[in-house]
Chain A
Amino acid sequence: MKGFRYLEGVATLELSPEACIGCGRCVEVCPHQVFVLEGKLSRIVDLDVCMECGACAKNCPTAAIRVDAGVGCATGLINEWLRERKIRQVGKGCCS
């Protein structure tokens, strides 16, 4: 994505090449071009632009991709934190 990059070195995305069958689904679903198909395998080319939406992992037929997926949303994380501690939610959360 041109002009925007978020924090470096935090993305939890992992791809295990042994499990990859090169179907290209991850390339198809990633809106930030994190993956490329090289030969018969997928490869992560730009880990830091991953927004951890989880589309690649969800659509990988051999479960070769792992990511701590979720929404990058401060309100959502605050509400999650409050919920875990059984405190009332503030507002309705993100895109409620």
Chain B
Amino acid sequence: MPQVSTELLLADRTGAWKVRWGIGRMDYLVPPGLYAIGTPSPDTPVVVTANYKMSYDIVRSSLAGRNVWLLVLETYGINVWCAAGKGTFGTDEIVRRVKATRLAEIVGHRRLLLPILGAPGVAAHEVAKRSGFTVRYATLRAADLPRYLDTGGVTTPQMRELTFTLRERLVLVPVELVGALKPTAVVATALFLVSLLLGGGAAGGMALVAAYVGAMLAGVVAAPLLLPWLPGRGFALKGVFAGLAWCLAWYLAAGGSHWGVPTTLAAFLALPAVSAFHALNFTGCSTYTSRSGVKKEMRLSLPLMGSAVAAGLLLLAAGSFF
């Protein structure tokens, strides 16, 4: 039986940091199977998690000083919640893993403790029918597991409530930023070339690129961090406000009073649309948006964004001829 240390080493911490920046994200996994934390007996609880190394690390370190069985499912290096959404953290995999590890011969009881965010992929009654193990959804966060175990399996309302704190939003920003870099580089290059063609010169081109990159950052960094304070429910609308703030700042910093009317209009139309698009993309990282809600928001906002960007580009082109 593989024995698991509950102490996170420097390599684990740098690994987590790299993953947060999108480096080697899909190769950060541990072999699925049954692991022993401390010296578990046939009576000790079985905690189930995903084989994304960051999930596994968080769970094992939260169980320091305890005797627990850790059943790691094959989710192909994807975290519990996303894997549950895809069905890999699911009924079939639990039944398969329970059999493959001969869990029924190792423990005397017939209980599995699952993370609450695994529930979208698991039908507890099916697991019971097919494996003989009953499922308890213990807590949402691994950090609450010790208290759950200490109280003999009581899930307090706080332990089952999703949050989206500033810190929780902040750790999501780097990987989003890395994801936005490639399309941003393509668009920025195109803008620079367009500016040269329209006779804006290298300085004009750089100014255009800076305005665009700022709008991207307003959507990718500022909007997620300021999420609860930006007006509106929709993420795109919140992005518009972040983008408008950026545009105003850029207008003041880059001598906007000397811009012509078409250029000013172009900036205030297109830049907030760029921020809105990136902010809308953050719905995928959030903990409270719904599929129907995002669909509705996309139906309303994508045509508006497209029109605003197109109008902005036309105005910019027109402005260069006046």
Contact = CB atoms under 8 A, between A and B. Distances in A.
A22 interface: no
Contacts, number: 138
Interface string A84-96: 0000000100111
B32 to A, nearest CB: 18
B281 A31 contact: no
B120 A54 contact: yes
Q: Which of A54, A72, A76 has the largest number of chain B CB atoms within 10 A?
A: A72
B117 A8 contact: no
Contacts of A61: 125
A1 B291 contact: no
B166 to A, nearest CB: 11
B289 A6 contact: yes
A58 B87 CA distance: 11
Nearest to B282: A74
A73 B121 CA distance: 17
A28 B157 CA distance: 10
A74 B120 contact: no
B82 A72 contact: no
A94 B284 contact: yes
Contacts of B286: 72
Contact of B140 (A31, A72, A96): A31
Given A4-B164, A28-B155, A77 B291 contact: yes
A95 B78 contact: yes
Interface string B100-135: 000000000000000011011111110000000000
B288 interface: yes
A74 B280 contact: yes
Nearest to A26: B119
Given A10-B290, A50-B290, A74-B284, A28 B137 contact: yes
A90 to B, nearest CB: 9
Interface of B: 26, 78-79, 81-82, 84-85, 116-117, 119-125, 137, 140, 155, 157, 160-164, 179, 227-228, 233-235, 280-281, 283-284, 286-298
B234 A7 contact: yes
Contacts of B289: 6, 51, 72-73
Contacts of A55: 84, 116, 119-120
A28 B85 contact: no
Contacts of B297: 7, 74
B100 to A, nearest CB: 23
Question: Nearest 4 A-B pairs (CB), nearest first?
Answer: A73-B284, A72-B289, A95-B82, A55-B119
22 contacts: A1-B164, A6-B293, A7-B290, A7-B296, A10-B296, A31-B162, A51-B287, A51-B290, A52-B292, A54-B120, A55-B119, A58-B122, A71-B85, A71-B284, A72-B286, A72-B288, A73-B284, A74-B283, A74-B294, A77-B291, A95-B79, A96-B26
Interface string A1-14: 11111111011100
